[in-house]
Structure 1
Amino acid sequence: SDLQEQEEHGELLQPLIFVLLVLCSVLLYFKVSLMDPGFVKDDEEVKVYHLRNGKQGEEQSMVIAQVPSGIQMRRCGYCMVKQPMRARHCQLCQHCVRRYDHHCPWIENCVGEKNHPLFIVYLSVQLVVLLWGGHVAWSGLHFEQSWDWLQHNALLLGSFLLIVIFTIVVLLLLISHLYLISCNTTTWEFMSHHRISYLRQSELENPFDQGVLLNLWRFFC
Structure 2
Amino acid sequence: MGAGGRWVRAAQTLLSGALSLGLFLHPTELQQQEERGELLQPLLFVLLVLGSVLLYFRVSLMDPGFVKSEEEAKAGKSEEPSIVIPQVPGHIKMRRCGYCLVQQPMRAKHCQLCQHCVRRYDHHCPWIENCVGEKNHPLFIVYLSVQLVVLLWGGHIAWSGLSFEQSWDWLQHNIFLLISFLLIVIFTTVVLLLLLSHLYLISCNTTTWEFMSHHRISYLRHSELENPFDQGIILNLWRFFCSCHLTVWEKIYYHRNNEPV
TM, length-normalised to structure 1 = 0.89
1:73 to 94, 98, 108: 94
2:232 to 189, 206, 211: 211
Matched letter for residue 132 of structure 2: V
- Find the aligned partners of 1:82 and 1:153 in 2 and give their Cα distance: 57
2:178 match: 157
1:175 match: 196
2:54 match: 27
2:67 match: 40
Structure 1 outlier segments of 4+, above 4 Å:
46-49
- Find the aligned partners of 2:192 and 2:34 in 1 and give their Cα distance: 29
State the 1:53 CA deviation: 4.4
Q: Within 5 Å, which residues of 2 pair with 1:89-168?
A: 89-168=110-189
Unaligned runs of 5+ in 2: 1-27, 243-261
State the 1:211 CA deviation: 0.4
CA RMSD of aligned residues (A): 1.9
Report the secondary structure of 1:96's partner residue: strand
Matched letter for residue 134 of structure 2: E
TM, length-normalised to structure 2 = 0.76
2:241 match: 220
- Find the aligned partners of 2:63 and 2:35 in 1 and give their Cα distance: 44
| Alignment length (residue pairs) | 208
Q: Which structure is richer in relative contact order (CA contacts within 8 A, separation 6 or more)?
A: 1
Matched letter for residue 52 of structure 2: S
- Find the aligned partners of 1:212 and 1:107 in 2 and give their Cα distance: 28
State the 1:198 CA deviation: 0.4
Unaligned runs of 5+ in 1: 62-68
State the 1:52 CA deviation: 1.6
2:253 match: none
Deviations 1:192-213 (A, max 9, x none): 0001000000011100000001
State the 1:137 CA deviation: 0.2
Report the secondary structure of 2:182's partner residue: helix
Matched letter for residue 204 of structure 1: L
2:208 to 168, 183, 187: 187
Matched letter for residue 173 of structure 1: L
